[in-house]
């Protein structure tokens, strides 16, 4: 599959050049532009009704996905994601899958499997919810981040502690544990809440911006206007 990631890292756009009868699966609403020769088929996510519903409600992903297929020749497709940030391509193989943040999925090859990875109470919260998405199969995966994206390769036994709001994903052969950041005082005064201890071997993907901090900063600008109008 031929692709180019344009305007990175702040306003990344994924442009794919599809050969005849080639298909890419993308999150609903991600399409920016496409050639007239590309046909779109919207369908429910695979895996049965309840697993699809779980991925939609708990994974913050759309209930439906779009398959874009080039018919009667080559076609061009442009995809973007909601967060202001980067897009990265990750090759997925049978022996190397990934666990990604629920909101980071943009698109993938049709052979890629997306599933919920239940964390329950033994692993704790991943920043914005109880769920991450487990990616398996074989093919191309495209993820987005808020801000730029950094990757870190960990050797066997090497560890890294990542704030959950900065954690985008990691290879599924990593071992990990979600913990509170310091004590109660650190949590209340230091700003951090939960962090993930990740142990290699494997690769970690980290986004440079924190969506929670951005929302708090934005609210400091909006709050005076909202309060003024409420009076």
Report if residue 217 sits inside a domain. no
Q: pLDDT by residue (tens digit) across 88-113?
A: 999 999 999 999 987 888 999 999 98
**What is the pLDDT confidence band of residue 80, given thresholds at 50, 70 and 90?**
very high
The pair of three-digit structure tokens given for residue 190, joined into one six-digit string: 């230091």
Compute the average pLDDT of residues 35-50.
73
Give the domain range for residue 124. Answer: 2-147
Residue of 223 and 55 predicted with greater confidence? 223
pLDDT at 49 over 80: no
Work out whether strand 202-207 and strand 167-171 pair parallel, antiparallel, or are unpaired.
Answer: antiparallel
Report if residue 94 sits inside a domain. yes
pLDDT at 9 over 60: yes
Report if residue 172 sits inside a domain. no
pLDDT score of 106: 93
Find the CATH number of the domain harbouring 90: 3.60.160.10
Q: pLDDT by residue (tens digit) across 148-206?
A: 999 999 999 999 999 888 999 999 999 988 887 765 444 444 445 678 899 999 999 99
Per the CB < 8 A criterion, the answer to whether 206 and 167 are in contact is yes
Report if residue 76 sits inside a domain. yes
Report if residue 100 sits inside a domain. yes
pLDDT score of 101: 84
Beta-carbon contacts of residue 118 (< 8 Å; ≥ 6 apart): 130, 131
The pair of three-digit structure tokens given for residue 178, joined into one six-digit string: 């979600």
Interatomic CA distance for residues 57 and 29, integer angstroms: 17
Interatomic CA distance for residues 56 and 48, integer angstroms: 12
pLDDT at 51 over 50: no
What's the structural domain count of the chain? 1
Report if residue 111 sits inside a domain. yes
Average pLDDT along the chain: 81
Q: pLDDT by residue (tens digit) across 52-70?
A: 444 444 444 445 789 999 9
**pTM of the model as a whole:** 0.79
Interatomic CA distance for residues 228 and 26, integer angstroms: 42
Report if residue 36 sits inside a domain. yes
Report if residue 52 sits inside a domain. yes
Question: In what side-by-side order are the strands of the sheet with 87-92?
Answer: 38-44, 64-70, 23-27, 105-108, 139-144, 87-92
Lowest mean pLDDT among 52-66, 107-121, 216-230: 52-66
The pair of three-digit structure tokens given for residue 193, joined into one six-digit string: 């809440």
Residue indicated by tokens 């369908």: 43
Backbone φ/ψ region at 137: left (φ over 0), alpha (ψ -120 to 50), beta: left
DSSP states of 55-124 as a string?
A: HHHTT---SEEEEEEE-SS-EEEEE--SSSB-EEEEEEBTTB-EEE-TT-EEEE-TTEEEEEEE-HHHH-
Lowest mean pLDDT among 40-49, 169-178, 198-207, 213-222: 40-49
pLDDT score of 225: 77
């Amino acid at each position: 599959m031929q692709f180019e990631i344009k305007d990175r890292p702040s306003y990344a756009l994924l442009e794919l050049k599809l050969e005849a009868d080639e298909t890419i699966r993308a999150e609903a609403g991600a399409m920016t532009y496409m050639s007239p020769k590309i046909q779109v088929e919207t369908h429910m996510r695979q895996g049965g009704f309840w697993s699809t519903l779980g991925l939609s409600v708990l994974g913050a992903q759309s209930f439906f996905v779009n398959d874009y297929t080039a018919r009667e020749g080559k076609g061009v497709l442009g995809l973007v994601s909601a967060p202001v940030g980067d897009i990265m391509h990750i090759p997925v193989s049978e022996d190397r899958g990934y666990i990604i943040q629920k909101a980071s999925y943009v698109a993938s090859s049709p052979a890629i499997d997306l599933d919920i990875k239940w964390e329950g109470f033994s692993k704790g919260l991943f920043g914005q919810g109880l769920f991450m998405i487990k990616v398996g199969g074989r093919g191309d995966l495209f993820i987005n981040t808020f801000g730029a994206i950094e990757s870190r390769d960990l050797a066997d036994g090497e560890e890294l502690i990542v704030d959950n709001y900065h954690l985008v994903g990691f290879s599924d052969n990593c071992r990990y544990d979600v913990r509170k950041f310091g004590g109660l005082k650190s949590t209340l005064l230091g700003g951090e809440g939960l962090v993930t201890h990740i142990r290699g071997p494997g690769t970690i993907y980290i986004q440079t911006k924190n969506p929670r901090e951005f929302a708090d900063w934005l609210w400091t600008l909006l709050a005076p206007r909202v309060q003024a109008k409420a009076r």
